[in-house]
Amino acid sequence: MDTLKDILYKAGSVKVHGDTAVSVKGLTADSRAVQKDWIFIAVKGTQVDGHLYIDKAIELGASVIICVTMPLTFTPNITYVQVEDSSHAVGICAANYYDNPSENIKIVGITGTNGKTTVTTLLFNLFTSLGYTVGLISTVVNKIGDREIPSTHTTPDPVSLQALLAQMVAAGSEYCFMEVSSHALVQKRTAGIDFTGALFTNISHDHLDYHSTFKEYIYAKKLLFDGLGKKAFALFNEDDQNGEVMVQNCNARKRSFALKTMADYKARILENLISGLHLSIDGNEMYSQLIGQFNASNLLAVYAISQELEQEKLDVLTKLSSLNSVEGRFQQTTSEKHIMAVVDYAHTPDALMNVLKTIKTLRTGNEQVITVVGCGGDRDKTKRPEMAKIAAEFSDKVVLTSDNPRSEEPDEIIKDMAAGLDPVAL
């Protein structure tokens, strides 16, 4: 059990009403989850203001309230702490409560529009094969060694995130590879994490329902690199026109990787076949079961991180060559009649184009490409017509369908997509 004073270290306290020597048994920013002698941190979110639920949290047993705006009246025997930024304070307090796990495990954050899940999963599998106990935080699943933990968000909320990192440390994990979403960065979910390094994959049209403009989206991603310390490394994709923007004014050691231009870590595609990739990475040839130029970039990113983490080069390349593709990422199956199906999570115009371009380069005859594509509801609507247009351009036939419509009508989503098609083709 920790005292409030310890938990508030570096949390940006402005004013305190009550006793900071009190012991607390837990903390949360969700008033519904409060238990006896817990801290409730009131955060003003995009849809809900936690300050409206302070009284409810006290009813459920909260003994400490952390907030930006102090209430007009104070409940007896409750400690109130005013902070400059409660979103930031959640992560800091959670890190302190869980004994700052990032001080005892090397954490590498991966951000970008496409490739995050593939890169983090390949890193997890690579370092596991190298003999380490490893943690994984991804869109698909969270892992501690061979134990799987369901994933609800690309990047968990700050309290869940610190609790998960603490579990990794307790299990003896030496590394954690985690996806870091733009939403998480803006919402400061990673506050309190001392990253060993970070990598930028690429950036393209996505999440403009949340960030409003592409420029805002870019700078949301950049927040990961802005927060790195001098001892950390910052890897960026030199092939992406916004790669160098990510590391501007970054205090960390900057390193680049690229397929097409000069970079600190360089790779060339020698062969791109339906059976896999034949690559030259830093002058050493390797084969991979993964397919496509985008996966060549992903493999290079994984290799670059391994070198920044001081792993033996040839061991890494040998292990990389034996890794399978990631579930839902250019995942193939072939029927008895030699009809190939490819399943890919591609949810942005750029990702869809990469997949379809790769399929086009792998065609050996007059095979038809039939693309089944949908767009999610309650998400960036501006990409819908663009994705349909790309599907039509690189396919012989296109089927527009539903993909988790959430609160929207599926027919309306499909109409938005169809707006990007030539009416004659419908």
CA dist., res. 6 & res. 4, Å (int): 5
Give the domain CATH number at 122: 3.40.1190.10
- Terminal alpha carbon distance of the chain: 64
- pLDDT tens figures, 326-380: 888 888 888 998 888 999 988 888 889 989 998 888 787 788 999 999 999 988 8
CA 130 to chain centre: 24
State whether 118 and 178 are in the same domain. yes
State whether 171 and 69 are in the same domain. no
- pLDDT tens figures, 139-176: 999 999 999 998 888 889 999 999 999 999 999 999 99
Q: How many CA atoms lie within 13 A of 406 on its CB side?
A: 7
- Which among 243, 333, 294 has a CA at the least distance from the CA of 119? 294
Give the domain CATH number at 395: 3.90.190.20
Give the domain CATH number at 92: 3.40.1390.10
CA torsion angle for 351, 357, 361, 365 (degrees, to 10)? 120
State whether 63 and 151 are in the same domain. no
Q: Which residues pair with 79 in a beta bridge?
A: 64
- Name the domain boundary from 33, 66, 97: 97
Q: Within a domain: residue 80?
A: yes
What pLDDT, on a 0 to 100 scale, did the predictor assign at position 7?
Answer: 98
Q: Write the Ramachandran bin of 37: left for phi over 0, alpha for psi from -120 to 50, otherwise beta.
A: left
Q: How many domains does the chain have?
A: 3
- Which among 211, 320, 230 has a CA at the least distance from the CA of 276? 320
State whether 10 and 115 are in the same domain. no
Q: How many CA atoms lie within 13 A of 29 on its CB side?
A: 27
- Which among 288, 282, 299 has a CA at the least distance from the CA of 201? 299
What pLDDT, on a 0 to 100 scale, did the predictor assign at position 210?
Answer: 57
Contact assessment for residue 296 and residue 279, using Cβ atoms and an 8 Å cutoff = yes
Give the CA angle between residues 262, 264, 267 to the nearest 5°: 65
Helix (H) or strand (E) holding 373: strand 370-375
Contact assessment for residue 225 and residue 185, using Cβ atoms and an 8 Å cutoff = no
State whether 284 and 160 are in the same domain. yes
State whether 341 and 257 are in the same domain. no
What pLDDT, on a 0 to 100 scale, did the predictor assign at position 265?
Answer: 99
State whether 385 and 265 are in the same domain. no
What pLDDT, on a 0 to 100 scale, did the predictor assign at position 333?
Answer: 87
DSSP code at position 44:
B
State whether 218 and 339 are in the same domain. no
- Which among 160, 145, 111 has a CA at the least distance from the CA of 301? 111
CA dist., res. 152 & res. 263, Å (int): 36
CA dist., res. 220 & res. 210, Å (int): 11
The DSSP bridge pattern shows strands 175-179 and 134-137 to be parallel
Give the three-state DSSP class for 120.
Answer: helix
Give the pTM. Answer: 0.90
Q: pLDDT tens digits for the chain (426 residues)?
A: 589 999 999 999 999 999 999 999 999 999 999 999 999 999 998 889 999 999 999 999 999 999 999 999 999 999 999 999 999 999 999 999 999 999 999 999 999 999 999 999 999 999 999 999 999 999 999 999 999 998 888 889 999 999 999 999 999 999 999 999 999 999 999 999 999 999 999 998 654 555 468 889 899 999 999 999 999 999 999 999 999 999 999 999 999 999 999 999 999 999 999 889 999 999 999 999 999 999 999 999 999 999 999 999 999 999 999 999 888 888 888 899 888 899 998 888 888 998 999 888 878 778 899 999 999 998 889 889 999 999 999 999 999 998 899 999 999 999 999 999 988 666
State whether 176 and 54 are in the same domain. no
State whether 125 and 9 are in the same domain. no
- Name the domain boundary from 267, 294, 320: 320
Tell me which amino acid residue 378 is: D
Residue ranges making up the domain that contains 368: 331-425
What pLDDT, on a 0 to 100 scale, did the predictor assign at position 348?
Answer: 86
Those residues whose C-beta lies under 8 Å from the C-beta of residue 421, and which sit 6 or more positions away, are 385, 388, 389, 392, 398
Those residues whose C-beta lies under 8 Å from the C-beta of residue 271, and which sit 6 or more positions away, are 277, 278
State whether 153 and 292 are in the same domain. yes
- Name the domain boundary from 320, 349, 376: 320
DSSP code at position 231:
T
Instruction: Calculate helix-pair angle for 116-129, 313-320, nearest 10 degrees.
Output: 110
CA dist., res. 150 & res. 198, Å (int): 24
The DSSP bridge pattern shows strands 106-111 and 134-137 to be unpaired
